[in-house]
Amino acid sequence: MWIEGLPGHLLGQRPGRRIGATIAVAALLAVGTPAHADLTYALCIGGGLASDFNGDGHADVAVGEPSGESPWPGWIHVLYGTDTGLSVTAPEDQVFEQDTAGVPGVSENEDRFGAALAAGDFNGDCFADVVIGAPEEDSGRGSVTVLYGSDDGLTTDSSTRFLQGVDGVPGPAYTGEWFGSSLASGDFDADGYADVAVGVYEDRIVSVADALGEGSVYVLHGSETGLTSAGAVMFSQDSAGVPGVAEEDDRFGWAVTAGDFDGDGADDLATGAYNENSGAGYAIVLYGAASTGLSSAGSQGWWQDSAGISDTAESGDFFGSALAAGDLTGDGRDELVVGAWGENSREGVAHVLLGSAAGLTSAGSQLRGQDSAGVLDAGEVDDFFGYAVAVGDFTGDGVHADLAVGAPGEDGRSGAIHVLPGTATGASTAADQFWTQNSAAVIGASEPYDMWGESLRAARVVSPDRADLLVGIPGEYYVEDNEGGLHFMPGDPTGLTSDGDQQFAPSILNVEGDPHLNGFFGRALG
């Protein structure tokens, strides 16, 4: 089973502490800050990037290594951003596991700590924090742990673990439900503190007697003291107003992403149920609102048989298996990108739904695949195009975000990525970039089962003005089979560039931690 991490938001940003300084806000308005920008967020030291754990103005990255030779407890690695890329020396990179002093819990066989990651400023101190999923904790009941940022980067001070049915988190928990299998950060109630959506794709919400669950999503809220279970809520297809019907093994909550699709200043939540309708797949959007947060009121359900959506829903398409949000059109509202990697015998496609004042709309929606006019290469069985998607302003034009799509099955599962530039109408195929590890000047070499592009994340590592792309290579071999790796590709006015690209893995010199057989380093990125 592949459990992927969550791709980034357009700006790689989430809200910081509300300063309450009218003069400062007025000054920002005077210099032309867009109306849809989070004004208070701009007051954070370093600009408040979603994963800037040490507040220096460079996004950092948490990398999951959820497996490894028995006992498979799981680890996360933290690499810090600089003006030349990611660094393992300034400051020192870090490794955390559940046996690290101050981290709640105990490393145990098959916890898979680090199988899912998300970053955001949950306590409003302008240092990003990270949430870590360990979905197989306690025989698959699962857990979520938060580590907080500081001047020195991530720290175990005040770290907290959340479990279903404990200390205010709705429950109860049963074995094999996988609490923490997916994670997304967004400010759903627009209070200036990032919140977290937690996917539980096998949550048994209809009957505990079911062999497999139907799936759900839990929301934990940020506060001045950090992430809290106070006021935690749960949504499923059994919740009033949520589209669809909760059915066994729909896998609602497999993928989650946050974006402001209606431009009202509160983030909204998209959730994928890729196994709905015999694997045709489904995506559900819940809308956020200032003060009240997420609600099922006005929620939407989308699939390939929805009016205005191209193609037809078919068994095994897996629509909703990957999700990303960002403002491709430049109108101040986010678009939703939905991967359907099983389409056409697993050639795969990605759909783009446009944001509007009324929320997402199928009007002008787009279907993108390797057989789309202008897209480089050609669709082939088992390319898995759309297995991972990410949105970021790679060109730094300041208007349109761009779309990165992973095709990790390309060429014997060596893997590839495409970059489609954003335009006023969405993701354009006119200047598609096609990258593999065999592309000119790219570090490394394409090898079967590398799965280059199985996970993607956009982050402003080098410059606050442009996004870079982080590419997971969980099947990469360095000194161990499936040790895994991370590829860093800088943004550039032309899109992405190999100039200054980097690779990291546990066996590469100066990277903290040990290489592990079947470690799958890079499977999750946060």
* pLDDT digits 0-9 by tens, 303-334: 999 999 999 999 999 999 999 999 999 999 99
pLDDT for the residue numbered 92: 86
Instruction: Judge whether residue 341 has pLDDT over 50.
Output: yes
User: Which residues make beta-bridge pairs with 186?
Assistant: 195
pLDDT for the residue numbered 141: 97
pLDDT for the residue numbered 72: 78
pLDDT for the residue numbered 465: 94
Cβ atoms of 436 and 452 closer than 8 Å: yes
Render 88-121 in DSSP notation, one character per residue. Answer: SBTTB-EEE-TTSTT-SS---TT--TTSEEEEE-
pLDDT for the residue numbered 8: 29
| DSSP H/E element including 300 | strand 295-302
CA angle at residue 392 from 197 to 434, to 5 degrees?
A: 120
Cβ atoms of 230 and 168 closer than 8 Å: yes
pLDDT for the residue numbered 1: 26
DSSP summary character for residue 467: E
Pull the structure tokens for residue 481.
């089979």
20-29, 164-173, 481-490 — which is least confidently predicted? Answer: 20-29
Output the average pLDDT for the chain.
Answer: 90
Instruction: Judge whether residue 56 has pLDDT over 70.
Output: yes
Cβ atoms of 190 and 265 closer than 8 Å: yes
What CA–CA distance (Å, rounded) separates 314 from 323? 19
pLDDT for the residue numbered 45: 52
| DSSP H/E element including 129 | strand 129-134
Parallel/antiparallel/unpaired status of strands 491-492 and 495-496: antiparallel
φ and ψ of 279, to 5 deg: 85, 5
Pull the structure tokens for residue 431.
């200047």
Pull the structure tokens for residue 503.
């690779």
Cβ atoms of 364 and 425 closer than 8 Å: yes
> Quick check: helix, strand or coil at residue 448?
coil
CA 438 from centroid of its chain's CA atoms: 26
Give me the residue label for tokens 């431009």: 263
What CA–CA distance (Å, rounded) separates 520 from 526? 15
Pull the structure tokens for residue 102.
């101050």
Upper half-sphere CA count for residue 433 (Cβ side, 13 Å): 23
Nearest CA-CA partner of 120 in 138, 144, 94, 146: 146
pLDDT for the residue numbered 90: 72
Q: What is the pTM of this model?
A: 0.92
| DSSP H/E element including 39 | helix 39-42
Instruction: Judge whether residue 302 has pLDDT over 70.
Output: yes
What CA–CA distance (Å, rounded) separates 221 from 151? 23
Percent of the chain with pLDDT over 90: 87
| DSSP H/E element including 140 | helix 137-140
pLDDT for the residue numbered 15: 31
DSSP summary character for residue 5: -
Confidence of residue 19 (pLDDT cuts 50, 70, 90): very low
pLDDT in tens, 150-198: 999 999 999 999 999 999 999 999 999 999 999 999 999 999 999 999 9
Cβ atoms of 415 and 450 closer than 8 Å: yes
* Rg from Cα positions in the chain: 20
> Quick check: helix, strand or coil at residue 373?
coil
Average pLDDT estimate for 41-51: 65
User: Where do runs of H (alpha helix) occur along 338-466?
Assistant: 343-346, 410-413
pLDDT in tens, 206-261: 988 888 999 999 999 999 999 999 999 999 999 999 999 999 999 999 999 999 99
What CA–CA distance (Å, rounded) separates 284 from 319? 11
Q: Exposed (0-12), middle (13-18) or buried (19+): which is 499, by Cβ within 10 Å?
A: exposed
Average pLDDT estimate for 136-149: 97
Cβ atoms of 341 and 322 closer than 8 Å: yes
384-398, 440-454, 503-517 — which is least confidently predicted? Answer: 503-517
Instruction: Judge whether residue 42 has pLDDT over 80.
Output: no
pLDDT for the residue numbered 47: 55
| E runs forming strands in 316-421 | 322-326, 335-340, 349-354, 361-369, 388-392, 402-407, 416-420
Instruction: Judge whether residue 388 has pLDDT over 80.
Output: yes
89-98, 346-355, 412-421, 496-505 — which is least confidently predicted? Answer: 89-98
Which phi-psi region, left, alpha or beta, contains residue 104 (left: φ > 0; alpha: ψ -120 to 50)? beta
- 94-101 own/partner pairs: CB under 8 Å, 24+ apart: 94/153, 94/154, 94/512, 95/512, 95/513, 96/132, 96/147, 96/154, 96/156, 97/73, 98/73, 98/74, 98/134, 98/145, 99/73, 100/156, 101/156
User: Which residues make beta-bridge pairs with 62?
Assistant: 78
Confidence of residue 43 (pLDDT cuts 50, 70, 90): low
What CA–CA distance (Å, rounded) separates 93 from 513? 10
